[in-house]
Amino acid sequence: MWRRRLVWLGLCVLSLAAITYYGGVISYSFLYACIILPVISAVYLFYVYCRFTIYQEIESRDIVCGQPMPYSFTLQNEDITVYTGIGVRLFTGFSSVEDMEDNKQYLLFPGSSRQFHTRLLCKYRGEYDIGVKEILLYDFFGIFRICYKIPSTIRALVSPRIVKLVQLKSLPQLSNLLEMENAHSEVENDVLTREYIAGDPLKKVNWKLTARSGELRVRKEIGIRRQNITLILDMERVSAHREIYLPLENKILEVGIALLYYFAAQNTGVQLIWESISFEKKDVMNLRHFELVFPELSAVMFQEGKKVQITLEKAISSRQLAESSLIFLVVHELNRDLFAILEKLSREEKIVVVYVITQEDITEYVRQNNLRLYITAIGPEQEPDEVL
């Protein structure tokens, strides 16, 4: 387009030079033609702008992240003139359309249309516009163009996908750790016990074992199917820009949901904790519980200033982690304050597993991994089943 504009400007300059040095009817006619050309183009573009029609349709506005959805749109010429240049520009930041080139130009003859039946893929969980973003209208000569904004774009509500893990490859010693944890607990008549913590109800004290050991021992509740696992999700919004926070939030939920589904499918109870508008705690014992929690977790809103270390401290102070022997955290960053809390938990005979969604180097923390504190980094664009 810029080359054609330069050619047009060059012709205007040549015609002026011809008039200046030679004059004559031909020189003036050539100049008038160069002047009237943009006027004709402007009238034509305005006419096409007013008459052009586009239709687009998607099977459902409720979309699952990473799952293609049937999508179609139609460029329609209901007029008696040719539409010489129709460029289609798509929303490409958070979604993609299969077999479609962005800003490709099409020619529409009178009474004709171009129909496109394809599939649309949303990359991240959230709410945003998808499909055709705008139409670029070009004149006959390809010198000028105007932008035709779509009157009503398609706004999709994208849910996080459920990644079904076969095993936790990032933590192959998980079963051994759980067996080790159970072996460290005192057992009497098939009842697991632990040390007494201030605030425990006296009815849970195992007096016989207390008298034998000389220290207060409290029964662990094992009547329900539970491995005393807690999963804490980081709900802090880190930026006001979508291109920054959408990939992070999507991956935090994707990893958290993958872990939750993995344990629920094995009927292993998980205490799920997050803090968005308020502090939330959900007990997920099986897949039925997972199905009840999933819609709420999918729609949760990340909030600025909701530091995960504050959420963790609230869980500790309210004794939500007293019964937990295995704690999972999915966070967007790992700093010294949070790491200090994690180290303290690991010294209290708890196993702490941290998944950090980041592209930054956290080697200094990963080097300190041990049997009770395990840290691993996951990139915002990595597949969970490749890392978990």
Q: Is the pLDDT of residue 13 over 60?
A: yes
Q: Is the pLDDT of residue 192 over 80?
A: no
pLDDT of residue 225: 40
Assessment of whether the complete model's pTM goes beyond 0.85 = no
**Within 10 A of 158 (CB to CB), how many other CB atoms are there?**
26
Average pLDDT over residues 206-219: 72
Q: Taking the domains of the chain in order of start, what are their residue ranges?
A: 2-49, 53-159, 174-184+223-387, 186-219
Distance, CA of 94 to CA of 109 (rounded, Å): 33
147, 88 in Cβ contact below 8 A?
no
CATH number of 53-159: 2.60.40.10
pLDDT of residue 259: 92
pLDDT of residue 172: 62
pLDDT of residue 234: 93
pLDDT of residue 273: 93
Q: Is the pLDDT of residue 223 over 70?
A: no
pLDDT of residue 231: 94
pLDDT of residue 8: 58
What superfamily would CATH give domain 174-184+223-387?
Answer: von Willebrand factor, type A domain (3.40.50.410)
pLDDT tens-digit map of 331-351:
999 888 898 988 888 888 788
pLDDT tens-digit map of 273-322:
999 888 999 999 889 999 999 999 998 999 988 889 899 999 888 888 88
Q: Classify residue 98 by its DSSP letter.
A: T
CB proximity list for 257: less than 8 A, separation 6 or greater: 160, 161, 162, 163, 294, 297
For the ranges 133-147, 287-301, 363-377, the lowest mean pLDDT is seen at 133-147
Crossing angle (nearest 10°) for helices 2-21 and 25-51: 150
pLDDT of residue 188: 43
> Between 365 and 12, where is the model more confident?
365
